[in-house]
Structure 1
Amino acid sequence: MAGYVVVGAQWGDEGKGKIVDVLGEKADYVVRFQGGNNAGHTVVVNGEKSILHLLPSGVLHKNAVCIIGPGVVVDPFVLLEEIDVLEKKGLPSSHIFVSDRAHLIMPYHIKLDELQEERLAGNKIGTTKRGIGPCYADKYTRIGLRVGDLIDFEAFKRKLKSTLSIKNDQITKLYNEEPFDYDAMVAQFSMIREKLMPRMMDSLSVVNEALDQDKMVLFEGAQAAMLDINYGTYPYVTSSSPTSAGVCAGAGVSPMKLDKIIGVVKAYSTRVGEGPFVSELLNEEGEKLRAIGHEYGATTGRPRRCGWLDLNVVKHAARINGLTDLVITKIDVLSAFDEIKVCVGYEIDGQRYDTIPASVEMIAAAKPIYEIFPGWQSDITQIRTFEELPENCRAYLKRIEEFTNTRISLVSVGPDRENNILIHEI
Structure 2
Amino acid sequence: MALLENIQNNHAAFLETLKHRFLDDQRASSLHKFFELGIPTKKDEEYKYTNLKEISEKNYNFFPKESHNITKEQIDALHLGEEHFDWIVFINGQLHKELSKISIENVEFLSFNFALNDAKHKEVFEKYFNTIASKELAFTNLNLAYCKQGFFLKVPKNVVIEKPIHVFYISQNQDENTVYNTRNLLIAEEGSKVEVIESHHNFDDTFVFTNSVTEIFTYQNAKADWHKVQNDSDTSYLVDNTFAKQERDSLTTVNTFTFGGKLVRNNLDFIHNGENINSFMNGITIIGGEQTVDHHTAVHHKKPNCESYQNYKGIYKDKSHGVFNGKVFVDKIAQKTNAYQQNNNILLNEGAMIDTKPQLEIFADDVKCSHGCTVGQLNEDALFYLRARGISKKEAQALLLYAFANDAMQNIDIEPLKVKISKLLAEKLEVDIEF
TM normalised by structure 2 equals 0.28
The structure richer in helix per residue is 1
Q: Which has the higher contact order (CA 8 A, sep 6+)?
A: 1
TM normalised by structure 1 equals 0.29
The structure richer in strand per residue is 2
